[in-house]
């Protein structure tokens, strides 16, 4: 089965991102495919390269990295990312920000069209979080 996952919550305020990671790992271990994990609204904060999580949350960034390194596409919504200050090198330059804040080694930027495309390619869509 093919899945697309939408993450809408920030890591510090919700268990939703951690639950999304657990689901993705379990689905892949069972032989399913995760076509794309799309980060929207406050969910884009999972892609910050400046995250300093509390000790009990420290495994979440590493888990995203492992998913990306296994071939799962981690994509942040361009508009949500800019609104939340999650900037690629190009966007940082465009907005006059001195440093990029997007973890570009593991996350890519895309639009809602990319999310719609993923939804059309999969059997199931899962949404984690409420936008906070």
Among residues 27, 42, 77, 81, which one is catalytic? 77
- HSE-CB at 8 with a 13 A cutoff on CA atoms is 9
| 3-state SS string for the chain | CEEEEEECCCCCCCCHHHHHHHHHHHHHHCCCEEEEEEECHHHHHHHECCCCCCHHHCHHHHHHHHHHHCCCCEEEEHHHHHHCCCCCHHHHHHCCCCCCCECCCCCEEECHHHHHHHHHHCCEEEEECCCC
52: annotated active-site residue:
no
Catalytic (active-site) positions: 77
């Amino acid at each position: 089965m093919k899945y697309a996952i939408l993450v809408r919550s920030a890591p510090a305020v919700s268990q939703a991102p951690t639950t999304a990671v657990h689901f993705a790992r379990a689905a892949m271990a069972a032989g399913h495919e995760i076509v794309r994990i799309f980060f929207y609204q406050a969910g884009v904060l999972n892609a910050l390269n400046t995250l300093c999580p509390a000790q009990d949350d420290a495994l979440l960034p590493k888990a995203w990295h492992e998913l990306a390194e296994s071939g799962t596409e981690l994509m942040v919504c361009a508009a949500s990312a800019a609104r939340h200050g999650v900037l690629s090198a190009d966007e940082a330059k465009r907005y006059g920000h001195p440093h990029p804040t997007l973890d570009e080694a593991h996350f890519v930027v895309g639009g809602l069209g990319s999310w719609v495309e993923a939804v059309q390619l999969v059997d199931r869509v899962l949404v984690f979080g409420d936008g906070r």
